[in-house]
Amino acid sequence: MYFRKSDINMGDIDPAFIQSTEHRPKSTVVEETSEIPVIDLSESREKVVWKIGKACEEWGFFQVVSHGVPSEVSRKVEIEAKKFFEQSLEEKKKVKRDEFNAMGYHDREHTKNVRDWKEIFDYLVENTAQVPSSHEPHDTELRTLTNQWPQNSPQFRETLEEYAREVEKLAYKLLELISLSLGLAVDKFHGCFKNQLSMVRLNYYPPCPFPNLALGVGRHKDSSALTVLAQDDVGGLQVKRKSDGEWIAVKPTPNAFIINVGDIVQVWSNDKYKSVEHRVVVNTRRERFSIPFFFFPAHHVMVKPVEELVNEQNPARYREYNYGKFFANRNRSDFKKRDVENIQIHHFRIMD
Ligand SMILES: O=C(O)CCC(=O)C(=O)O
Ligand SMILES: [Fe+2]
């Protein structure tokens, strides 16, 4: 489905990949210097909480080191990811995602109705999870999502499951630190993640002959509470700087994870911490791998600003929404190009 370098001419690009002019990457990128904070989680809790709070307010993004995920576990999952995507399309399609089961392999992801230049493999942290059967608000039926594992490699499954367990621990740790930074109880949000929909995604971005027209992932915000992302040394992730809206390249930092505030923390914190837009640019020479862990609550969780953070001066800025329905709605538009804008948290914003 991708083009070989030798048989490309400008007419070859599938129009589904082409970003509208305003969303195409610029040829000059603002390289990140040392702006996006790198936080060492082995520092005192007080310091870490303060730094995380500041980073969430100013950037919505930060990197963490001394995070407790063994580097061996990260290294192994990178090897397995590479081996998986190197296989033939026929082999990969044996674990292909479809409209009923959103887990598995997929090569036609769309963000905001433009096709992304990438292939993915998604799996749930808890192997199965209950989600609403449809996005329709009054339909109460549930269905079960189940991981699809390739038959030809037990090692792939073992390695990916081990990775999910380790990163999940880090995600809980970060959730606690974020709660503390908001002045809330350390375990304020734990209950929301029992029967969680959290998933890990292996992203593979092949070299792209048209990096000025297409994107690896179009601009978007994550619908998670937070995201824990591992990226390799190629680079390509860009974050929209809050201060001026400029796209800033996130510099790959060895052994670090990139953390970003997702939509749910934005709503819980009543806009104190914003979920920030980001995107991925591709290049003509090097393939790139990245692995986000999306920390998603259970389907029945109703997301709304937490009571401790709203008062008369600072009234709730969002109506509550059901996470499962939001998830079902998003999956619908990820799966194929649709003519309507996909669901966003601003649809639940209370107008003032
Ligand atoms: O590949 C990356 O660096 C980021 C991917 C991403 O933003 C996503 O999958 O939501
Ligand atoms: Fe993202």
Phi then psi for residue 27, to 5 deg, are -75, -25
Q: Is the CB of 203 under 6 A from ligand 1?
A: yes
H-state helical runs in the chain: 45-58, 71-86, 89-92, 154-181, 263-268, 323-335
Q: What is the pLDDT of residue 338?
A: 57
Q: What is the pLDDT of residue 226?
A: 98
User: Which pair of tokens denotes residue 132?
Assistant: 């609403």
User: Which pair of tokens denotes residue 99?
Assistant: 């409209």
Q: What is the pLDDT of residue 21?
A: 86
Q: Is the CB of 299 under 6 A from ligand 1?
A: no
Q: How far apart are CA 276 and CA 168, in angstroms?
A: 22
Closest Cα to residue 59, out of 238, 295, 291, 264? 238
Q: Whose CA is nearest to atom 8 of ligand 1?
A: 292
Contacts for 273 with CB less than 8 Å, ≥ 6 apart: 56, 57, 60, 178, 182, 261, 265, 266
Q: Distance from the CA of 138 to the center of ligand 1, in angstroms?
A: 32
Ligand 1 atom closest to residue 216's alpha carbon, by position in its atom list: 1
Q: Distance from the CA of 312 to the center of ligand 2, in angstroms?
A: 34
Q: Is the CB of 217 under 6 A from ligand 1?
A: yes
Question: Is the pTM for the entire model greater than 0.90?
Answer: yes
Q: Whose CA is nearest to atom 9 of ligand 1?
A: 292
CB atoms within 10 A of CB 314: 12
Q: Is the CB of 290 under 6 A from ligand 1?
A: yes
Q: Distance from the CA of 125 to the center of ligand 2, in angstroms?
A: 18
Angle between the 154-181 and 45-58 helix axes, to the nearest 10 degrees? 90
Choosing from 120, 217, 277 the residue with most ligand 1 atoms within 8 A of its CB, the one to mutate for a pocket test is 217
Q: How far apart are CA 276 and CA 177, in angstroms?
A: 19
Q: Distance from the CA of 217 to the center of ligand 1, in angstroms?
A: 7
Q: Distance from the CA of 274 to the center of ligand 2, in angstroms?
A: 14
Choosing from 229, 247, 288 the residue with most ligand 1 atoms within 8 A of its CB, the one to mutate for a pocket test is 229
Query: Token match 């999952």: residue?
Result: 77
Q: Distance from the CA of 313 to the center of ligand 2, in angstroms?
A: 32
Q: Is the CB of 222 under 6 A from ligand 1?
A: yes
Q: What is the pLDDT of residue 8?
A: 43
Closest Cα to residue 25, out of 232, 240, 229, 259? 240
Q: What is the pLDDT of residue 4?
A: 46
Q: What is the pLDDT of residue 336?
A: 54
Q: How far apart are CA 247 and CA 226, in angstroms?
A: 20
Q: Distance from the CA of 111 to the center of ligand 1, in angstroms?
A: 11
Residues of the chain with pLDDT under 50: 1, 3-10
ipTM: 0.99
**Span 188-244, pLDDT tens digits:** 999 999 999 999 999 999 999 989 899 999 999 999 999 999 999 999 999 999 889
Closest Cα to residue 81, out of 125, 120, 127? 120
Q: What is the pLDDT of residue 331?
A: 78
CB atoms within 10 A of CB 106: 22
